[in-house]
Amino acid sequence: MVVETSIAAATTPRGADPGSVPHRRTRMVLGLLLLAIGLWTIRTFLPALAWASILAIATWPLYGRIRRRFPPSGHDILWPALFTLGVALLFLVPLALAAIQIAREAHLVFDLVEEARRTGLPVPDWLGRLPVVGPSAAGWWQDNLASSAAASELIERMNHGAFASYTRSLGGQLLHRMIVFAFTILTLFFLYRDGRWLAGELLVASHRAVGPHGERIGRQMIASIHGTVDGLVLVGLGEGVLIGIAYWIAGVPHPTLLGAATAIGAMVPFGAVAVFGSAALSLLANGATGAAIGILLFGSVVVFIADHAVRPTLIGGATKLPFVWVLLGILGGVETFGLLGLFLGPAIMAALHLLWRDWTTPEAGTPVGGEAVVAPPH
């Protein structure tokens, strides 16, 4: 201790105060510079860190209740490992089921390609009856698939051109996303294990950086993520279940797989409409006009109720945001950050809305324009 004190005294210039304003500014600049360098270094894995944080925030209430009900003993590994495994299976099981279904249907595609090579594929009767695109689609089919020579030429062009390039690109994207997913799951485990300590550290850091407003902003963003998960994910799953039952009743092929696609599409604005609209078109093409109209009407009612009643209540109630702000956050977030923007967009808008309210709401009794303004009720 004496040696360390002597070294510190020897290396500190005489008259210099480590807590002085110039030194604090220097430390702040140095800290921001190191932060920027660090973020640039790990920029490839920032989406994984963001996804892990969102998943941890979304599942933390359940995780906290389980931990309080069954406190861990010894090394705190069991509950973090079980919850991490559960989240991983929540993504892997549907993907595995979809892959199995695609593999089962792959032979139909190969048989269709071979038949096109041998004899060509006649234009289906239903194709020309499709609204708007029917005649042009039937003409393209007649020119490219109706004869064996034209079909073979088209298949060869696909094999040697864009299809091969697309396959290589798809393989690279899949490998990258697998690595990001693995890193997300690994990060999620450590967030579960050390989340309470990390939350305390972030509270101290935010209080030192921006004062008590930092905690309010953080809580608002967390509430926005909870509201977005409830309003997008849970409501989307509900839409997928209800419309999936309608698919089964109407006789749409593979209603379970199509219902899952509807649930995923329902998390994105107008995504569910595109899925059940395609299902209705397929029914219409096969002559099932009544079933197609039923799918369109039922799907429209479900989406209307979800988008205009349920989601505004869940998301707006949790974030204290007008729904138009939520919608702008979702659309702008998806355009800027991709799927991650579904959750980041509303969180950013919630923080901005809170800062705006703090900036524009005067304190009670503060004179504005010659009159004392009364603070609005909360």
Span 54-64, pLDDT tens digits: 899 888 989 98
Q: Is residue 9 part of a domain?
A: no
In this structure, the answer to whether residues 50 and 130 fall within a common structural domain is: yes
The pair of structure tokens assigned to 221 is 């963003």
Q: How far apart are CA 93 and CA 82, in angstroms?
A: 16
Q: Does position 38 have pLDDT exceeding 60, yes or no?
A: yes
- 5 in a domain, yes or no? no
Q: Do 223 and 353 belong to one domain?
A: yes
Residue 110 inside a domain? The answer is yes
Predicted pLDDT of residue 158: 63
User: Residue 14 is which amino acid?
Assistant: R
pLDDT tier at 126, thresholds 50, 70, 90? low
Among 211, 228, 260, the domain-final residue is: 211
Beta-carbon contacts of 306 under 8 Å, excluding residues fewer than 6 positions away, are 235, 238, 239, 266
Q: Provide the domain limits for residue 257.
A: 212-358
- Is 354 a domain residue? yes
Q: Is there a single domain that holds both residue 128 and residue 162?
A: yes
Lowest-pLDDT range of 104-118, 181-195, 325-339? 104-118
Nearest to 225 by CA among 143, 344, 49: 344
Same domain? For 140 and 53 the reply is yes
Mean pLDDT of the region 219-235? 81
Reported as a pLDDT band with limits 50, 70 and 90, residue 187 is very high
Average predicted confidence (pLDDT) for the chain: 76
Same domain, 202 and 54: yes
The larger pLDDT score, comparing residue 150 to residue 368, is at 150
Higher pLDDT: 13 or 252? It is 252
Mean pLDDT to the nearest integer, 116-130 = 68
| Per-residue confidence (pLDDT) for residue 360, from 0 to 100 | 76
Q: Is residue 160 part of a domain?
A: yes
pLDDT above 90 covers what percent of the chain? 7
For residue 365, what pLDDT is reported? 47
Tokens of 103: 């593999």
Q: 255-272 burial by CB neighbour count: b if 16+ within 10 A, else e?
A: bebbbbbbbbbbbbeebb
Q: How many domains does the chain have?
A: 2
Would you give the DSSP letter of residue 17? -
Place of tokens 């929540």: 90
Longest dimension (CA), the chain: 94
Which of these three, 152, 182, 211, is where a domain ends? 211
Residue 276 has pLDDT above 60, yes or no: yes
When comparing pLDDT for 331 and 157, which is higher?
331
Residues 6+ apart with CB under 8 A from 307: 269
CA 91/CA 83 separation, integer angstroms: 13
Same domain for 201 and 66: yes
**What percentage of the chain has pLDDT greater than the value 70?**
73
In a domain, 82, yes or no: yes
Contact between 311 and 232 (Cβ < 8 Å)? yes
Note the pLDDT tens digit of each residue in 69-117.
Answer: 888 776 778 899 999 999 999 888 877 877 777 776 666 666 666 666 6
Assess if residue 30 is contained within a domain: no
d(CA 247, CA 299): 10
Residue 9 has pLDDT above 70, yes or no: no
Do 198 and 59 fall into the same domain? yes
- Euclidean distance between CA atoms 268 and 232, whole angstroms: 8
| Global model pTM greater than 0.75 | no
Same domain membership, residue 221 and residue 182: no
- In this structure, the answer to whether residues 64 and 169 fall within a common structural domain is yes
| 16 three-class SS | coil
d(CA 153, CA 147): 10
Pair 56, 185 in one domain:
yes
Query: In the prediction, which pLDDT does 82 show?
Result: 93
Q: What is the rounded CA–CA span in Å between residue 247 and residue 282?
A: 12
User: Do residues 152 and 219 share a domain?
Assistant: no
Handedness of CA 222, 227, 232, 235 (dihedral sign): positive
Q: What is the pLDDT of residues 129-149, one digit of tens each?
A: 666 666 777 777 677 666 677
Q: Is residue 254 part of a domain?
A: yes
Cβ atoms of residues 321 and 315 within 8 Å = yes
Q: Do 299 and 326 have their domain in common?
A: yes
| pLDDT tens digits along 21-30 | 677 778 778 8
CA–CA dist 10, 221 (Å, integer): 46
